[in-house]
Structure 1
Amino acid sequence: MPSMPSNKSDRRDATVPNDPSPAWRRRCATALIWYLRLVGAFNLVGALSYPLRERVNAHNNGNYYTPFLVTSGYVSAAFAIFFAVMLARKKRAGWIATMILLGGYSVLVIWSMYYPEYRDHLFNWLSLAITLSLLVLAVLSRREFYAKGDPANPRTALIVVGSGALWAVLLGVTLVPITNSLKGVSLIDSVTYTVGRIITLAPDSDFPLVHVPVWVDLFINLSALVMVLAVVYVLFRAPRGREMLHEEEEAKLRELLDKHGARDSLGYFALRRDKSVIFSPSGKAAVTYRVTGGVSLASADPIGDPEAWPGAIEQWLAEARSHAWVPGVVGASEEGGTVYSRFGFDALELGDEAVVEVDEFTLDGRAMRVIRQAYNRVKRAGYTTRIRRHEDIPSEEMDQLLRQADRWRDGETERGFSMALGRLGDDADGRCVMVECLDGEGRMRALLSFVPWGEEGLSLDLMRRDRESENGLVEFMVIDLLQRSKDAIAAKAGQGQKKKGKGRPNAADEAEQPAQEAVVEGDAPIVVRRVSLNFAMFRSVFERGSRLGAGPVLRLWRAVLVFFSRWWQIESLYRANAKFRPIWEPRFVLFEKSSMVPRIGLAYARAEGFLEVPSASALFGRRHQRALTSAEQPHKAVDAQEKVEV
């Protein structure tokens, strides 16, 4: 989907509160960032190149001062690169740390100029000029660095730096006496040598009593590098966000869904309680999102009145930029993507959603022969379905359904974010629809749960089945739901015609009435006109790649997806949906810059549960207290073993 033209500088100014951001200030910030990038690269090359490292060390240890952060060492390279990254992300904490280091180094160089041995060297004046120029650039561009940090970061960074420094010193004190080829090294000499190696790759001449192998120096310096990386990451990491939907916010979202929920089949999934929400100034629209790995990941289209969508998007973007979060959207429809494109977002097609129109669905025809035979086979085996609203299921039966869903779950990993509700049996979700499949002996062997899609639509949320049951149960349940819905619509239309007519119904109407009531077999009739099934990722690749005349690139891409489908059910989802001959509705992932796509992809994989990042409590053997049962985090996907026999 092409992006609409937009002025990105104007959009940026509008989303940063009270910040006109003149061009000269942006240039000052850019110059400072590029200096740090170049210095980081220079220090890294110097750490790897012995001649260059020796020349820089000769300057630093003689009557010379190199410019800011130029020391040819791994630690200084890490400092420069990380400061450049943090400043590029507009981190206020990064600017403060840079100012402290720049100011301290400037004072040191100025103080040294009072001594003739330093003042007489032109190189020192050049170094001072460069350092002071950087300080001026940092002061002039201070308002460019507005992104907030997590208040807990400094405390955590102090803990990391303390424990990391202690570990590095203990490592050096242990290795230096063991590997030292000279006699008489003391504990103080070992500590001094270790600290020197942590700070820089100083020459051996500075420590006449210590002569250790090169690998010891490298090991100590790399240990210090790891410590620095950990400290800088903890100090400048973005806030994680609330990741919690409050009761008042959920109530407001439900009001918006009552008015506009029919627009998007994924709208009801905005009620996941591990998402955050931000409303437009008018309160008529909202964007739901989760902050994962420094990415503010919005799901599907905004909720509410489309006229108010831009206001909600502006608020979401302003919050993301105030915390230096990367904004991204997954699962957006074409309508939502068009609105997002006005704010400078580009789009990539993520896949297609399968939507079945009940009025148009039929089992007749040669194209439906396979699924018709499968349906009849399961029906002959004695299986039946029961369709009810969640609110009509007694609590004892719902508890049993939860236990069964938990027992049938495929694996221990809980998945779901953009197309899964994340809970089952909650009292607030009474309008959801449960489809149960019973065998000939009345035992439940599979279940489907659908969330509302407006007044007359359903969107698939959860599917589970007993692996020892008949294959094709999911298809059987979906077809039964579609046929019963079609009959319920016909019955409703027939009743409307009779109300308009005059006199008593004729004999044909009376003969037709029992068949209409038998549609639900004792269940309350549920009128559904459209059903959203699974999401088929990269569907167009499978469809076009198998056609005659497909190009080599498309065929290669299809072959790669078929290979990975052995583990991730990519192709099986497409084929499971295609059997119903649905309407394919494209869904998109939206991003501002192509360089952001990998981060958004990783955040999406983590949000959906495909990538698990262990927390600190998990590493120390402690488990998080869970607000949801293990059956409450479904993934909108067909089990790999759920196939139709041909």
Structure 2
Amino acid sequence: MNKIVHRIGPLLVVAVFMAAVWFLYRELKHYHYRDIRNAIGAIPTWRLLASLGLTIVNYVVLIGYDYLAMHAIRHPLSLGKISLASFTGFVTSYNFGALLGGTSVRYRLYSAWGLSAVEILQLVIMMAITFWVGAFALAGVVFIVRPFPIPDKLHVPFTSVYPLGFVLLAISLGYVALAAFHRRTLHIRDRQFPLPGARMTLLQLSVAALDLCVAAGCLYVLVAHDITVGYWEFLGMYLLAVVVVLITHVPGGLGVFELILLTLSAPGSAPSMVAALLMFRIIYYLLPLMAAVLLLAGHEISLQRAAAERVWAAIGRWSEPIVASLLSWATLIAGMVLLVSGATPIVPGRRAALEQAVPLSVIEVSHFVGSLIGAMLLPLARGLHRRLNAAWWLTMVLLGAGFVAALLKGLDYEVAIVLITIAVSLFVCRHRFYRKGSLLHEPFTSGWVAAVLVVVIASICVGLFVYKHEEYRFSAWWAFTLRGDAPRFLRASAGALVVLLTFAIWRLLTPPKRIPTERLAGDLQLAAAVVHQSPKTMAQLALLGDKSFLFNEQGTGFVMYARQGRSWIALGDPVGPESERAELVWEFRELVEQYDGWPVFYQVEEECLPIYLDQGLTLLKLGEEARVPLDGFSLDGSTRKGLRQAHHRGQREQLEFAVISGDHVRSLLPELKNISDAWLAEKQVHEKGFSLGFFDETYLSRYPVAVVRQALNVVAFANVLCSANREELSVDLMRHLPGAPASVMEFLFIELMQWGRQQGFQWFNLGMAPLSGVDDRLLAPLWNRVVHLAYQFGDRFYSFERLRKYKEKYDPVWSAMYLASPGGTALPHILGDLTTLIGRRR
């Protein structure tokens, strides 16, 4: 059911948009495009500047939503980070809404800054409560004090907003009373919802009310010179329109917002209202979006200078997860701007200059090509969203061509400025688009399809309105004159539709991208060749034989994974060249999406975290990996006194160490099997797997084995994992006889480290101390606190704390290890699947 809703939801949004456009057309059928153009010209410059100033003030006020929500969930974050998340989050959600994932910008930023999925969900809920409570309170007061009639054409059960005001005010006052007098936690069924105190509630009301008052002022100052409605009555109309927009989920409220305000406004004021709404769209929506794009471009330019300021570097770290998404949405806007420009006539004041400077044939071709470019940019925006390098190159070419076409077809310098701004931003951010692949194979979500439809329908409807008084004849298709704006619109619209239909048909006829099949035995040979080039010993676990592989096209890298429930769990970061890691993560995610699974990456390193954040995954710290530098390792000095004593004790017990390999390992396997079985029986455990080695003769025969003998008999052993270029040494399967000396494993470790140093290895990997180093602050992410509690009190199941203390004796370098997964409510299921997978009987 959820899948069906997810798929048809965007199509319902398109249907709502089309209905709004139809009613808008009926409202404006008695007006001409010329009336609206004249109304735009009649807006005084000082009013435009005042609207711009109020817009800046409003975006500052909007920071209050994030700030209050962050305070409520008790997660400390700098004001700079909160401000950036607020600005980019509201810019994208206002322009694109949930249809294109505009709301995900805030999620990605806060995930990168350490908030868990649960905390982000709490933050978003808190912000929504702040808005709705404030909107209800403000609307209730305004509707009661300054009521206005509701036209019959809206078909609502009220003839006036007066009774609705009491309902809304009662809801908001009920929330205030609940927060002031009820206990701090509200219990609904089996769920708990924290409530803010009275002070926080008043701050919520204040922020939301101030936001809505200033936002309404941004529009009112543009229209106040030509309407008789006062500010407070206009504020009520604005509030009603905003609520309807939020209910419909149309991106930016395009069409719906305009329809409500036009319906509520006085007869005869439609041209002034439409003119004000158009300028409001540019000032309040488009300019902040361009500012966000320029902010990211400025950061990228500064990073390429030696004297880059630290503030830009900080912005870069913060903006990393959202750059490509924001630029892809900006490209979608560029396509829309070109299509709308192609649907409108040449500005009268520029027509004469254009006639003298540019031949008619050039004008005609430029107009047609400009609309074709606009149509092509729409699907290319999706390619940029998927970080495709080919999409970046083609977009850069088209933006350049669109810049020239905009100037040649009508001296549209405004359009040219938008295009060149986006092109420059894309150019300086070119390294963000690294993926190789074809746009024909990239999935188009129903949200993106709906967005493209909305843009195309909007541009065509603009043209139909502008030229509604024209007589459309077949001969108009072939009319080429300087004043033939309507024929140019027809040709441009037809060309744009042909481009999009061709792309759609091409996608439908293109064979689907090959989905890798699960193979084990055949892939092990190819995997072994890649593993032997890896500097990480974890890569050796690929050869256990219990995993599937996803290889890149060249066969030089892979993701090793196994399935458990809905979880597709990859072990570690992709194995292979660093340049291929990001693409392999993308391909793994696409593979998982084919089966409606959850992509999970277990034990990933800190240096690769940006790749997973780029996927919108949540990070959970699992613990810390201990690596001992072997270059200066010795038993000398006071800090190694304990190790020295353990080693001497082993020597007194006549323990002897050796590393064997090849045929010697195979001949010793029966004896090692007996030791392994005895160890399992004593511990009353069974073999595990996936991230832990198990006794398998084929697996053990691949590697050297460290053995400890006593009186010529093997009493302990461990297989030795060696990485490429002698970068790292580690052990996996460690077993000893029940009657072996207590110090036997410590003796084995010490001897093996000394052996590794003599062989020229750089590091000895002691493995991960699970759940250690996880933040236990009250303000730490929820799942991190759960993990820390397991670390403190989980000794009855596993000696987590003692394990870390044991590894500390070797003075290792600790590095964090993470789980990257969808998070949220899926996380408990994922952790359960992971436990089942590792503990599965072998």
Taking structure 2 as the reference length, the TM-score comes to: 0.38
- Write 1 or 2 for the structure with the bigger share of helix: 2
